[in-house]
Amino acid sequence: MSIAENRRARFEYHIEEQFEAGMVLEGWEVKAVRAGQVQLTDGYVMIRDGELFLIGCRINPLRTASTHVNPLADRTKKLLMKKEEIRRLIGKVEQKGFTLVPLNLHYKGGRVKCDIALAKGKDLHDKRETEKKRDWEREKGRLMRHAVPSNKRSGKD
């Protein structure tokens, strides 16, 4: 079940590979995620000391959060993956043009997981091509909807 999706990532980047990572969240963040108070559009993944961190993912605190907690909406969240996978990602990110972007947040077995992608930035002409394809698919759907003749019989049997 999807919680939040970063649609902008698929428009801005060519997705090479996808990975699933666990997230280290605080209690108030889990409650806010369940309420759908998540925004991923400005998020990106950074590698520090062999660990992955999600930066720019905004989780807006609920008004009913505990009184003894000071919630920070833009807190840096740690991502959990196996060491071998992280090492492989570090090697790929060091190549020219690769970056790590979050694609979506979802539940898996009662836990919040983050799909991250190894991606390469698109050029302007690639973005225009993506827009053209999207517009054509939308127009094609409209044409097909209106062009299908109805199978109604005449009143005579």
Q: Distance (Å, rounded) from C-alpha 67 to C-alpha 109?
A: 29
Question: What is the pLDDT of the chain when averaged over all its residues?
Answer: 82
Structural domains in the chain plus CATH codes: 2-122 (2.40.280.10)
105 touches 112 (CB < 8 A): yes
pLDDT digits (tens, 9 = 90+) for 61-107: 887 766 677 777 788 889 998 989 888 888 888 877 788 889 888 88
Model-wide pTM > 0.85 = no
Residues 6+ apart with CB under 8 A from 21: 52, 79, 80, 81, 113, 114, 115, 116
pLDDT digits (tens, 9 = 90+) for 8-56: 878 778 888 889 999 988 888 888 888 888 888 888 888 888 889 988 8
Q: Distance (Å, rounded) from C-alpha 109 to C-alpha 123?
A: 38
